[in-house]
Structure 1
Amino acid sequence: MSAHWTKGNAFKLLENGEEFYPRVFEAIREAKKEVMLETFILFDDKVGQELRASIISAAERGVRVDMLVDGWGSADLTPAFIDGMTAVGVSFHVFDPTSKLFGVRTNPVRRMHRKIVVIDGEIAFVGGINYGLDHLAEFGPEAKQDYAVEIRGPVVDDIHQFVRMALAPVKPKRWWQRRSKRLKSLPAGENGTASAALVTRDNVDHPTDIEQHYRIAIRAAKSEILLANAYFFPGYRLLRDLRRAAKRGVRVRLILQGEPDMPIAKLAASMLYDYLLSAGVQIFEYCQRPLHGKVAIADDEWSTVGSSNLDPLSLSLNLEANVMIRDAAFNRVLRDNLQQLIDNHCKQIKPNERPRRKIYRTFIGVVVFHFLRRFPAWVSMLPTHKFTLTTAEPPVQELSHEQQREREIVG
């Protein structure tokens, strides 16, 4: 596990598409040199079209634009949607694209699940929000509850370099070589007071980094752990750390899905309720709409926001990115937001209100528990393939009648 912590950063919490999209689109419209964007899902809807228009406008005024989408999450984008961007110079990349087999996507695991935007190497956005109408309240009861952060400060340089390497791998400079110029022009404290680190997960060099940072924070917590996560099905070690924290007197609260977008997510998490409740962990189900957030705080300083769920896909298969933050002010903002969810839109799960477990459910619970315990080892034995990153070619421009005659004459 490795992470490079920097001081002097500033973070702004962005809740749902209502706060996230306007800031991202504004930053793209104001970009002077470069826009780099990674997302798992990009839909061709109202939100996707506005992002596309912002991207096209930036490229037309000479801004270099690189976009990366996942081949599974964004498989339904049409050639016309993509061609409109590549025609003006946008470099549009697709992670691990595969053709559908009988109309079914065949690459549902090992996905590029990150959501990152970097503008001119100066502003970054990291979180769990994709680009689709389902992240806006106007979508209706199925609109998602989610979070991202706007970031300024030295950690943006780390995020910028990471995305650049993901899109166009080159031999990297040593960290002191690529940071020295920026640190001289951007002294700690100019933007903010937060210490921060970008922590990523991949299937080669950093397979457990995000999980390890969670576990370190949980084990170090003295008074409080508050965690909101959409798909909660973590490994045995993280579950054990949560139980031990609660048993030593830490107030451990989990906000999980009560109105899931995928029912299996709630079913899987509920299998763990008795194990956690018996140790004193408090569980709240968010019931206003589907929870899609991946955030947490510990005590009065540590927090995290990012793309990583606490389930087997995110912890053992997907490519993920979270920012780890040490800042009391941001911690308070995130805590207050999550507390409002608990106070106004959550139902607490009480041990004495849980129905008596039937024998078959007890058996299933034991199987699930041991599956969690051994899943990381098992998944490492799954066959893998070399990921591909394809770049969409710009559309072929049709020649006018005069151009065709001129070509024939020259030929």
Structure 2
Amino acid sequence: MNSNRDWTRGNALELLENGEEFFPRVFDDIAEAKREVIIETFIWYDDEIGRQLRDALVTAAERGVQVDVTVDGYGSAPLGKAFVASLTEAGVRLHVFAPLPPILGVQANLFRRLHRKLVVIDQRVAYVGGINYSDEHMRYYGEKSKQDYATRVTGPAVDDIHRFCREAIGHPTPQGRRNLRGLLRWLPSKWSHPESDAQVLLVTRDNHNHRTAIEAMYRLGLRSASRDIVLLNAYFFPGYRFLRAMRQAVERGVRVRLVLQGEPDKAYVKFAASTLYDHLLNIGVEIWEFMERPSHAKVAVMDDAWATVGSSNLDPFSLSLNLEANLFVRDTSFAGELREKLEALLAERCVQITRDAVARRHPIWHVWRWVGYHLLRHFPKLASLIPVKPTMLKTIEDPDTDLGTGPGPRTLGHSPRPESPAEPDPQNTQR
């Protein structure tokens, strides 16, 4: 699967913050769909937001729209038979990545998860980001609601995202279909919105041909920055090369600010990241913690025109095991808007971690830091040694099926093995 293509120009982008901005835009676009809706998501729950998505897709399918939804067999395992039946009976094609029945009531398929969050509608509009379909992304969920971002895209980049999503479900777009017809489709929007000229590149990570693609794009941004870098990431535990690129940026005089979770929904998230605090402060990186609620964000902005929004954390699971997708952008307007939001976040809802705060750690902490870093960094390599069956994408055709008991008989090709673990319990899922 050719998942990483060339930069495209002439795109219009809309930055969406949290579920309050994201879900209405997606649902409205689905309501206007005439031919096709394709969705990939890690988590889809049977809650208020999950049912709104279900109803929107069922309504679209009933009016003749072809609807394909791919969910992860671990992240979306709680979906029950009634929920699944309402989709399949309406004609929605529901694909499951790596379904596996629970073992003694426990979901055992923890590794290589499908973690992408993508939407394409009528090959006209696409969404790329980190927001799942659950109430967790709405403020009414309470103090554990998640901070996150997504991007709505129109323009030539949609063709690349569409082609990737079609290939992922085993229905590739015929070669040459984009060509002149695709170009002509986007020219009118370029003429009517001449200011919309963002350069966009979809970059995906898999376990076959693009193992380090997203991390490499991040490092390229770190190496090219000359003034200011802000990284907001939910799960931060990168490798040596990433840390070296951060150090080299600081040595060039670049201000590097790293925004991590201060109030995570899982304690180990903060523990893992904090094992790096001493080193990060030593190399001159500013560490900030988002204190308002859990952060699920995976975004960055560097200098005036480089930005990314997507599903990939900067941890061993996302960088070494999961299927991920990030949108990389070169555009001053979009980067400026993202920077403005991040600066407001830093000023109003974050606290800076100082050298004094880290220095008060007990000496035994530094032993745990060293042990923890090496165990976590090498964990994906150890996990990759565990024999696994080829990961398959399967389509549920039997309405009397839930995601925890497996798929129907249709198998659609291979998939670039996916993502990281998150709890299948709606009250306890991390990503």
Q: In structure 2, what is the equivalent of residue 91 of structure 1? A: 93
Q: In structure 1, what is the equivalent of residue 28 of structure 2? A: 26
Displacement of 1:366 after TM fit?
Answer: 2.4
Q: Deviations over 1:364-387 (max 9, x none)?
A: 222344456656655554434211
Aligned with 1:212 (options 210, 213, 216): 216
Aligned with 2:163 (options 148, 161, 164): 161
Aligned with 1:266 (options 248, 264, 270): 270
Corresponding letter in the other structure for 2:80: T
Quick check: 116-125 or 189-198, which moved more?
189-198
Higher relative contact order (CA 8 A, sep 6+): 2
Q: In structure 1, what is the equivalent of residue 71 of structure 2? A: 69
Corresponding letter in the other structure for 1:309: N
SS of equivalent residue, structure 2 residue 178: helix
Q: State the alpha-carbon separation in 2 of the partners of residues 185 and 389 from structure 1.
A: 32
Q: In structure 1, what is the equivalent of residue 178 of structure 2? A: 178
Q: In structure 2, what is the equivalent of residue 8 of structure 1? A: 10
Q: State the alpha-carbon separation in 1 of the partners of residues 385 and 222 from structure 2.
A: 29
Q: In structure 1, what is the equivalent of residue 58 of structure 2? A: 56
Aligned residue-pair number: 394
Percent of aligned positions with the same letter in both sequences? 51
- Shift in CA distance, 237/380, structure 1 to aligned 2, threshold 3 Å: farther
Q: Deviations over 1:342-376 (max 9, x none)?
A: 00000100112324343322222223444566566
Corresponding letter in the other structure for 1:161: R
Q: State the alpha-carbon separation in 2 of the partners of residues 21 and 202 from structure 1.
A: 27
Corresponding letter in the other structure for 1:338: L
Aligned with 1:255 (options 247, 253, 259): 259
- Greater radius of gyration (CA): 1
Contact 1:37 1:118 in 2 (8 A): yes
SS of equivalent residue, structure 1 residue 92: strand
Q: In structure 1, what is the equivalent of residue 137 of structure 2? A: 135
CA RMSD of aligned residues (A): 1.8
Corresponding letter in the other structure for 1:109: F
Q: In structure 2, what is the equivalent of residue 101 of structure 1? A: 103
Displacement of 1:177 after TM fit?
Answer: 5.9
Quick check: 285-294 or 82-91, which moved more?
82-91
SS of equivalent residue, structure 2 residue 340: helix
Q: State the alpha-carbon separation in 1 of the partners of residues 389 and 162 from structure 2.
A: 27
Q: Unpaired segments of 5 or more residues in structure 1?
A: 397-411
Q: How does 1:7-406 map to 2 (within 5 A)?
A: 7-170=9-172, 178-187=178-187, 189-190=190-191, 192-371=196-375, 378=382, 380-395=384-399
Displacement of 1:247 after TM fit?
Answer: 2.1
Normalising by the residue count of structure 1, what TM-score does the alignment of the two structures yield?
0.92
Q: Deviations over 1:85-124 (max 9, x none)?
A: 1111110111100000111001011000011110000100
Q: State the alpha-carbon separation in 2 of the partners of residues 229 and 169 from structure 1.
A: 33
Displacement of 1:4 after TM fit?
Answer: 1.2
Q: In structure 2, what is the equivalent of residue 403 of structure 1? A: none
SS of equivalent residue, structure 1 residue 28: helix
Q: State the alpha-carbon separation in 1 of the partners of residues 289 and 6 from structure 2.
A: 35
Contact 1:87 1:394 in 2 (8 A): no
Quick check: 124-133 or 359-368, which moved more?
359-368
Q: State the alpha-carbon separation in 1 of the partners of residues 383 and 178 from structure 2.
A: 36
Q: Unpaired segments of 5 or more residues in structure 2?
A: 401-431
Contact 1:251 1:281 in 2 (8 A): yes
Contact 2:229 2:303 in 1 (8 A): yes
Contact 1:72 1:111 in 2 (8 A): yes
Corresponding letter in the other structure for 1:185: R
Q: In structure 2, what is the equivalent of residue 406 of structure 1? A: none
Contact 1:224 1:251 in 2 (8 A): yes
Normalising by the residue count of structure 2, what TM-score does the alignment of the two structures yield?
0.88
Displacement of 1:189 after TM fit?
Answer: 3.7
Q: State the alpha-carbon separation in 2 of the partners of residues 122 and 316 from structure 1.
A: 32
Q: State the alpha-carbon separation in 1 of the partners of residues 119 and 334 from structure 2.
A: 20
Q: State the alpha-carbon separation in 1 of the partners of residues 272 and 190 from structure 2.
A: 44
- Shift in CA distance, 2/36, structure 1 to aligned 2, threshold 3 Å: closer
